[in-house]
C-alpha cells in the first residue's frame, strides 16, 4: 500500500501551487477541499448541510450558497465543527476508494488545508508544510478571493498557528520564490523516494 504524505499550509501559503507541481511529476495528489466541494453538490449532502443551519443556505439553482455558509462558519466555531462533522467522514470515505486506485505508487500526496486541526496528520506517514510570511499570505488571499484583510485574518484565526504546524511537520517549504519552492519540493520528493 502507498505511503500517505500529507500536504498542508495556512491560507495563502501556496499549498495549491506545490500540489500542482508535485502532480506534474506524475505523483498522485488528492485535493481534499476540491473533493469536499464536489461532494457538496450531492443532493443528499445538500439536504444534510441545510439541516445544520436555521437560515436557508440553498440557492435557487439547488446548490449550496458557499459564500453564505463561509460567512456563518468562519465566525462560529460550533457551526464549523458541525459542518466538518458532515463533510469530513464523506471525504475520508472517498479518499479510501481513491487510495485503492493508486496503491501501486510508493507514495501519494493528500492535500488538506486543516490537516492538523482535523487530526488527519495521524493518518499520514509524513507531512509537508508550505509556509510563507503573514503579509505575503494576507496579500495573496485578499487578491485571490477578493476579500478584506479582516476576513482573511478571521479565517486564519480558525487555523492552527504556523509555529505549531512547523513543529508537527516532517518537511517545511518556505514559499517565497517559485524557483526556491520547486527546488525545496524536489529535494523532499527525492528524500521520499529514497525512504
The answer on 190 and 112 residing in a single domain is yes
Task: Determine whether the annotation assigns residue 25 to a binding site.
Answer: no
Q: Helix (H, G, I), strand (E, B), or coil: what is residue 163?
A: helix
- Is 13 marked as a binding-site residue? yes
Bridge partners of 85, per DSSP, are none
The model's pLDDT over 61-110, given as tens digits with 9 standing for 90+, comes to: 999 998 899 888 877 889 988 998 999 899 999 999 999 999 999 999 99
Same structural domain for residues 51 and 114?
no
Q: Is 148 known as a binding-site position? A: no
Backbone angles phi, psi at 83, to 5 degrees: -65, -45
Q: Which of 56, 84, 101 is the last residue of a domain?
A: 101
Name the band, by pLDDT with cuts 50, 70 and 90, for residue 145: confident
Same domain, 8 and 81: no
CA within 13 Å, CB half, 51: 8
- Whether residue 6 is found in the same domain as residue 72: no
Angle formed at CA 124 by CA 179 and CA 187, multiple of 5 degrees: 25
Same domain, 58 and 139: no
More confident residue, 77 or 40: 40
Instruction: Looking at the structure, tell me whether residues 9 and 92 fall in a common domain.
Output: no
Q: Which CATH number goes with the domain that contains 186?
A: 3.40.50.300
Whether residues 51 and 69 fall in one domain: yes
Annotation-wise, does 14 bind a ligand?
A: yes
Do 129 and 191 lie in one domain? The reply is yes
pLDDT over 80 at 1, yes or no:
no
C-alpha distances out from residue 187 to 37, 78, 111, 172, 191, Å: 32, 40, 18, 11, 6
Q: Per the structure, how many domains does the chain have?
A: 2
C-alpha 75/C-alpha 72 separation (Å) is 6
Position 132 confidence tier, pLDDT thresholds 50, 70, 90: very high
| Residue 23 belongs to domain spanning | 1-28+107-195
* Domain stops at, among 101, 123, 147: 101
22 and 46 housed in the same domain:
no
pLDDT of 38 higher than 90:
yes
Last residue of a domain, one of 45, 70, 101: 101
Amino acid at each position: 500500500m502507498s505511503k500517505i504524505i500529507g500536504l498542508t499550509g495556512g491560507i495563502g501559503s501556496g499549498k495549491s501551487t506545490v500540489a500542482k507541481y508535485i502532480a506534474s511529476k506524475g505523483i498522485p495528489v488528492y485535493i481534499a477541499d476540491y473533493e469536499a466541494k464536489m461532494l457538496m453538490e450531492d443532493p443528499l449532502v445538500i439536504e444534510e448541510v441545510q439541516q445544520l443551519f436555521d437560515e436557508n443556505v440553498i440557492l435557487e439553482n439547488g446548490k449550496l450558497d458557499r459564500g453564505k455558509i463561509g460567512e456563518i462558519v468562519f465566525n462560529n466555531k460550533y457551526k464549523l465543527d458541525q459542518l466538518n462533522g458532515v463533510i469530513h467522514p464523506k471525504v475520508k470515505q472517498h479518499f479510501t476508494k481513491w487510495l485503492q486506485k493508486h496503491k501501486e505508487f510508493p507514495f501519494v500526496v493528500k492535500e488538506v488545508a486543516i490537516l492538523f486541526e482535523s487530526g488527519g496528520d495521524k493518518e499520514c506517514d509524513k507531512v509537508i508544510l508550505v509556509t510563507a510570511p503573514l503579509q505575503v499570505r494576507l496579500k495573496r488571499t485578499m487578491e485571490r478571493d477578493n476579500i478584506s484583510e479582516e476576513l482573511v485574518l478571521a479565517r486564519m484565526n480558525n487555523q492552527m498557528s504556523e509555529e505549531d504546524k512547523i513543529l508537527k511537520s516532517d518537511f517545511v517549504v518556505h514559499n517565497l520564490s517559485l524557483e526556491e519552492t520547486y527546488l525545496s519540493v524536489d529535494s523532499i520528493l527525492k528524500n521520499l523516494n529514497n525512504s
